[in-house]
Amino acid sequence: MENLSDETLIRSAGEGDSSALGELVTRYKDRVLTFMAWQFSLPPEEALDMTQEVFLAVWKSAASFRGESLFKTWLFSVARNTGLSYFRHYIAKKAESAGLLFGDEEFENIPDGAPGLLEELEAGERRALVRAAVASLPDKLKAALLLREWEGLSYEEMAEVLQVPVGTVRSRLHNAYARLTKNFRENV
């Protein structure tokens, strides 16, 4: 299954092949988890729950995948819609009982090289600054930034996921970078 394309796997999943879905989960679970945590500012446990909900939605709607876009684009559309649905129904209840900030463990995979103790502390401070700066962005700008920088989607793919014109994607990215630059200049 490792050699099959994402599109072939989702079609097989649509025909009831759970091992095909399992392969897609293996390929994308970490990326979807990161997207959910960053985009919706979820703590790790809730981001994991939402990631499971995303793949459940993928399983339920696999037969409806038409192949008009890449699987990855379709997957992040499902993730975005799942997250928005979650917030519509549950955020008021959850916001009171659970903090909306996530823990440092989600950012341990940001490469810093092999620093010594001082460098590790500085790297931790940089991660905290990046985390705070990204978290402070409005959701629309944050989504554009994450899809571009973390997922490597093209402008066209981003436009499809976000359901906006390509020009809007470019504008949101420009504004996100400008706000991050301003934030870093003020805090460094």
Across 105-127, average pLDDT: 53
Report the pLDDT value the prediction gives residue 103, as an integer from 0 to 100.
Answer: 43
Q: What is the pLDDT, as a whole number, of residue 124?
A: 58
What is the average pLDDT across 146-157?
89
pLDDT band at 180, cuts 50/70/90? confident
Instruction: Write out the two tokens for 61.
Output: 């709607």
The token pair at 19 is 């091992």
Domains in the chain, CATH or no CATH each: 1-105 (1.10.1740.10)
pLDDT over 90 for what percent of the chain?
45
Residue with tokens 């920088």: 149
**Which residues have a Cβ under 8 Å from the Cβ of 53 and sit 6 or more positions away?**
82, 86
Asked if residue 33 lies in contact with residue 47, where contact means CB atoms within 8 angstroms, the answer is yes
Confidence of residue 175 (pLDDT cuts 50, 70, 90): very high
Give pLDDT tens digits for 80-90: 889 888 776 65
What pLDDT does residue 92 have?
47
33 pLDDT more than 90: yes
Q: Is the model's pLDDT at 121 over the cut of 60?
A: no
Q: Is 152 left (phi over 0), alpha (psi -120 to 50) or beta?
A: left
Q: Give yes or no for residue 107 having a pLDDT over 50.
A: no
Per-residue pLDDT, 105: 45
Residue 165 pLDDT level (bands cut at 50, 70, 90): very high
User: pLDDT digit string (tens) for 62-85?
Assistant: 999 988 889 999 999 999 889 888
Tokens of 16: 């009831």
pLDDT given at position 149: 85
CB 71 within 8 A of CB 7: yes
CA–CA gap between residue 72 and residue 77 (Å, rounded)? 9
**What residues contact residue 188 under an 8 Å CB cut-off, 6+ apart?**
129
Residue 11 has pLDDT above 60, yes or no: yes
pLDDT at 93 over 60: no
